[in-house]
């Protein structure tokens, strides 16, 4: 999103407050660029964002640690550094804020699950996800589903995987980009009968939603979304063929 004149004035006011040591202004400034004005971020602004977050962390604001960890994990404005991301996520798990804590545990789980510059550790990943799942974090819920589906740390149980996917779906709203990941999994299970009876109509519904929301994730510069699109499209094409065949058969009855 491009800045309007009003936005630029708002940034100037925040910069003056930051110069006076206003911690709330530092958080607002950094989050505006991180979440709303990404296209406006220059190397100098990125460094200022980091300084703002670091100053707030030193003052005890562990929500800032979560945001700074996300900057290093995503590598959008600065070079990606998973080790620094882990450092800040671990700090954020100590936050008194429930939402900050649940996302810190979830993000830390990803680092262990995928081995982000550290050895893959399924036990630690599962425990991190579980800490977030008890707070009904949808991301953590579907990742626990993945661990049951593929038998990572826990015994393989596809029905249990589907239960976690369905719970994750309940914890997302209709057009939330995160729902793309959940819908893809449920759609795939419904299409191939994984942990549930085959249901081509449910598969079509979920995979259509997954495709649309994956485009949203790509637009929002999710670094991993584009790689998921070909598989979603392939499964969606399969679901459409099966539904069309079923409709033709019903017409003949």
pLDDT digits (tens, 9 = 90+) for 174-193: 889 999 999 999 999 999 99
Could you report the per-residue pLDDT of 83-138, keeping only the tens digit for each? 999 999 999 999 999 999 999 999 999 999 999 989 999 999 999 999 999 999 99
Model pLDDT, residue 2: 76
Q: Determine contact, residues 186/197, Cβ cutoff 8 Å.
A: no
Intra-chain end-to-end CA distance of the chain, in Å: 53
Which backbone phi and psi does 136 adopt, to 5 degrees? 65, 35
Task: Identify whether the C-beta of residue 146 lies closer than 8 Å to the C-beta of residue 168.
Answer: no
> Within a domain: residue 213?
yes
User: Which residue segment(s) compose the domain that 198 sits in?
Assistant: 172-253
What is the value of pTM for the model shown? 0.89
Total domain count for the chain? 1
Cα–Cα distances (Å) from 87 to 62, 68, 83, 128, 241, in that order, read 12, 10, 6, 15, 48
Using the predicted structure, report yes or no on whether residue 6 has a pLDDT greater than 80. yes
Establish if 81 belongs to a structural domain: no
In a domain, 157, yes or no: no
- State residue 253's pLDDT score: 55
Is residue 199 a part of any domain in this protein? Answer: yes
Is residue 221, in this structure, part of any structural domain at all?
A: yes
147 located within any domain = no
| Under 8 Å between Cβ of 109 and 129 | yes
Q: Read off the DSSP letter of residue 40.
A: G
């Amino acid at each position: 999103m491009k800045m309007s004149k009003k936005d630029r004035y708002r940034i100037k006011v925040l910069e003056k407050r930051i110069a006076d040591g206003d911690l709330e202004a530092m958080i607002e400034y950094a989050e505006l660029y991180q979440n709303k004005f990404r296209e406006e971020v220059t190397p100098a602004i990125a460094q200022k964002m980091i300084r703002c977050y670091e100053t707030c962390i030193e003052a005890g604001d562990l929500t800032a640690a979560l945001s700074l960890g996300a900057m290093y994990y995503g590598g959008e404005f600065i070079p990606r550094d998973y080790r620094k991301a882990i450092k800040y996520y671990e700090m954020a798990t100590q936050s008194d804020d429930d939402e900050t804590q649940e996302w810190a545990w979830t993000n830390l789980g990803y680092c262990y699950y995928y081995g982000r510059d550290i050895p893959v550790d399924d036990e630690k990943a599962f425990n991190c996800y579980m800490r977030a799942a008890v707070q009904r974090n949808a991301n953590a819920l579907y990742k626990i589903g993945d661990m049951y589906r593929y038998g990572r740390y826990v015994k393989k149980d596809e029905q249990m995987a589907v239960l976690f996917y369905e719970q994750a779906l309940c914890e997302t709203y209709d057009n939330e980009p995160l729902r793309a990941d959940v819908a893809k999994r449920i759609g795939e299970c419904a299409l191939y009968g994984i942990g549930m009876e085959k249901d081509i109509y449910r598969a079509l519904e979920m995979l259509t939603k997954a495709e649309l929301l994956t485009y949203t994730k790509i637009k929002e510069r999710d670094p991993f979304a584009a790689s998921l699109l070909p598989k979603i499209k392939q499964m969606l094409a399969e679901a459409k063929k099966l539904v069309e065949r079923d409709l033709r058969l019903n017409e003949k009855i």
